[in-house]
Structure 1
Amino acid sequence: MSKMDAKPLISGISKPVSQLALGSAFYNVDSKEEWFDILDYYIKVGGTIVDTARAYSTSEEVIGLWMEARSMRERTIIQTKCGITADGYLPAENFPQVVREELTTSLRTLRTDYIDVYLLHRDNQEMPVAEVLEPLNREIDNGRIHAFGASNWEYRRLTEANEYAYKHGIKSFAVVSNNISLAHPTAAFYKGLVSTDKTGEHWHEETGIPLIPWSSQARGFFTGRYTPQMRDDFALTASELDSFTSKMLKVYGTDENFERLARAKELGERKRRYTAVEVALAWLLHKPFPIVPIVGVHNREELASCVKALALTLTEAEIRWLNLET
């Protein structure tokens, strides 16, 4: 059985960080035993970091129950999120109170007295970075969080926040959780989402701050369940395609992305029994900066496939080919 390596990676966190983080956005307490099994297997294959959020239904509750039942709190890095309005922005009004109250709820739900990594789920560019950073620093001083990060923040804002923190001698973002994958989205899948572009990649190289990307496998695009024929067949009405499929085709269904899919499939076959999904994940793991992709899996087999991708080595020429550069 393949296993992940783990090493210290996040400033403020002494626990080792595994090569893949486990996503839990769809966990539901009504089927908690199903998710307990995946969490158990994730630990068995060397996983250490579990991603969740206040906004993810009963995900925090499932993880809290699992950690309590398995006595796993000190072996697990919990990354949860706060701060998202219905409009897809960080709430500016009473922000310190929002942080305090959402964190209190997360701690209670997760059955713990601290959060390892606390992420802001969105940004609000009308808020000065000082107003964002100061409440988070207070929670570090109180011991309720050990590090904090930003999800769906533009890199200009991240630079501004880090510069402010440096000048004022306070903590700043220890991690970033934006989207990146081999498939390039044409637009944000939901309002307020941010993807890491080439500028962002250079930022991570220069700062050494880890990227913990969501939708690292492009929401299942590389499974092959979405095709150019589905996109181009005008006989398929909106009622015949579910809303998620329609959105996937709109956001990811470009000729370039379908070519990336075809090349990932071809390369996987040449590499002997690797799938396009595994090739796409391996491509991400070859980035020249610290990166811990979040993988959302529904069973042990899918998780084993993700772990298998860790053993796949790609050459620079193969990476350029997947990038459509050659």
Structure 2
Amino acid sequence: MTQLLPLDRAASERADVDYPTLARRRLLGSAGPRVFPVAIGGNAFGWTAAEDAAEAILDEYRSFGGNLIDTADSYAAGRSESMIGNWMHSRRNRDELIVATKIGKSAESPGLGTGAVTAAIDASLRRLRTDRIDVLFLHVDDRKVPFEETLVAVDENVRKGKVRFVGASDHSGNRFIEARVIAAQLGLTPFIALQCRYSLTHRTEFEGALANVAEQQRLGVMPRFALDGGFLAGNYRSRSELDLNSTGNVVLGGDAESHLNRRGQRILATLDRIAAEHESVPASIAIAWLLSKPTVTAPVVGVSNAGQVADLVGAIDIRLTRQQVAALDEVSV
């Protein structure tokens, strides 16, 4: 379902980005923006990554042609958005980027009622120092608010130009179906993307009903926790390593400790073997496995230092064989 966009060389020269980088970009959903196949996550910014570290991470990501940055108004109480906004302002590169953020979990504008939606969007725009959010994700399925109210509130902000595209995070397949019906009936902006937890160590939430809906609705899928707290990068192979590496070497998102068992060790052993066959590293192979799935557009990976970026974006150039994908599928069931 994910579509690689053919681009002529003149287009690449106009965009001041090399041709191979542009050729690798994919449509997010059936009608969304063109994005780099790996998104850099801002969940470390303002937490384990200070502003200088965040800028170094973003600079390194951009050096590979990356253009998709994912954050949320609740990450570090908004500091993640502020750091990204300051970086974009200082680099004057806003128009070269696709910025995705999520609303619904912040302390200042919790939930997804009409007032909270508009307040959260306005606050994110101020922190990001921009006039529009490229992809706005609902960060929570707020059952206290009628779904129609939330979708109408978001659509109003789309019509005002504050939001370009809309998606949802951690919603069930049935909620995506419900959203599509409401959007069709009321003429509202439909969802074009989804985020959920999905990795070799955590497959059940996405595979099955949600994956089917994503395919049917041609949604762009941005898996979060792609390396499950650094476990799939091979950072933690024992509890002693977990203690030693708990600071400074974390690829964020997930729960590495819960995978220190036989299944986890089998997954790491398979990643190690396939990484050796590609002269690569486990992190790249874990992301390449996600990219081999037809519904996946761009995994979201948060990092705490710039030195981790090359391994993450390196996954784009890895082509796993059918046998390698099958081996990873089997060991991670």
Q: Is the 8 A contact 2:28 2:192 kept in 1?
A: no
Instruction: Render the CA deviation track for 1:161-213: whole Å, top value 9, x for unaligned.
Output: 11221222221211101111011279xxxxxxxx3122222222222100111
Q: Within 5 Å, which residues of 2 pair with 1:197-208?
A: 197-208=207-218
Question: 1:192 — aligned with what?
Answer: none
Runs of 4+ in 1 over 6 A off after TM superposition: 239-242
User: How many equivalent residue pairs?
Assistant: 304
2:318 alignment partner in structure 1: 312
**Residues 80 and 119, structure 1, Cα contact 8 Å, conserved in 2:** yes
Aligned residue number for residue 36 of structure 1: 55
Instruction: Work out the CA distance in 2 between the residues paired with 1:38 and 1:48.
Output: 13
Instruction: State which drifts further: 150-159 or 32-41.
Output: 32-41
Match of 1:67, SS state, is helix
Q: Give the Å deviation of 1:122.
A: 0.9
> Paired residue for 1:230?
239
Give the deviation of 1:12 after TM superposition: 6.0
1:287 aligns with 2:296: no
| Aligned match of 2:328 | 322
Question: Which structure 1 segments of 5+ residues have no match?
Answer: 187-194
Equivalence for 2:84: 63
Q: Which runs of 5+ in 2 are unaligned?
A: 1-17
Task: Give distance in 1, aligned partners of 2:66 and 2:34.
Answer: 10
Contact 1:204 1:290 in 2 (8 A): no
Counterpart-to-counterpart distance in 2, 1:254 and 1:151: 29
The answer for the alignment partner of 2:4 in structure 1 is none
The aligned counterpart of 2:282 is: 276
Match of 1:53 in 2: 72
Aligned partners of 2:217, 2:302: CA distance in 1, in Å?
Answer: 27
Helix, strand or coil: the match of 1:22? strand
2:103 to 78, 82, 90: 82
* Aligned equivalent of 1:91: 111
Structure 1 letter corresponding to 2:68 = I
Distance 2:216 2:88 in 1: 36
Equivalent position amino acid for 1:65 in 2? N
TM-score (norm 2): 0.82
User: SS of the counterpart of 1:174?
Assistant: strand
Distance in 2, matches of 1:67 and 1:174, equals: 25
Conserved? CA contact 2:28–2:297, under 8 Å:
no
Q: TM-score, normalised by structure 1?
A: 0.83
**2:313 alignment partner, SS class:** helix
Q: In the alignment, which of 129, 136, 155 is matched to residue 147 of structure 2? A: 129
How many angstroms apart in 2 are the aligned matches of 1:253 and 1:240?
15
In 2: Cα distance, 1:248 partner to 1:100 partner: 33
2:237 matches 1:219 = no
- State the secondary structure of the residue aligned to 1:35: helix
Q: Which moved more, 1:67-76 or 1:176-185?
A: 176-185
Counterparts of 2:54 and 2:100, CA distance in 1: 17
2:160 to 137, 142, 146: 142
Letter of the 1:222 partner, please give it: L
* SS of structure 1 residue aligned to 2:224: coil
Match of 1:253 among 246, 257, 260: 260
Kindly report the root-mean-square deviation, in angstroms, between the aligned alpha carbons of the 2 structures: 3.1
Cα pair distance change 1:135/1:300, threshold 3 Å? same
Report the CA distance shift for 1:198/1:255 in structure 2 as closer, same or farther (over 3 A).
farther
Cα distance in structure 2, aligned partners of 1:10 and 1:33:
33
Q: Give, in angstroms, the shift of residue 240 of structure 1.
A: 10
Q: In the alignment, which residue of structure 2 is the partner of 1:266?
A: 273
In the alignment, residue 268 of structure 1 is paired with which amino acid? A
1:213 is paired with a residue whose SS is strand
Query: Partners of 1:282 and 1:26 in 2: how far apart?
Result: 22
Q: Quick check: 301-310 or 27-36, which moved more?
A: 27-36
Q: Distance in 2 between matches of 1:85 and 1:60?
A: 12
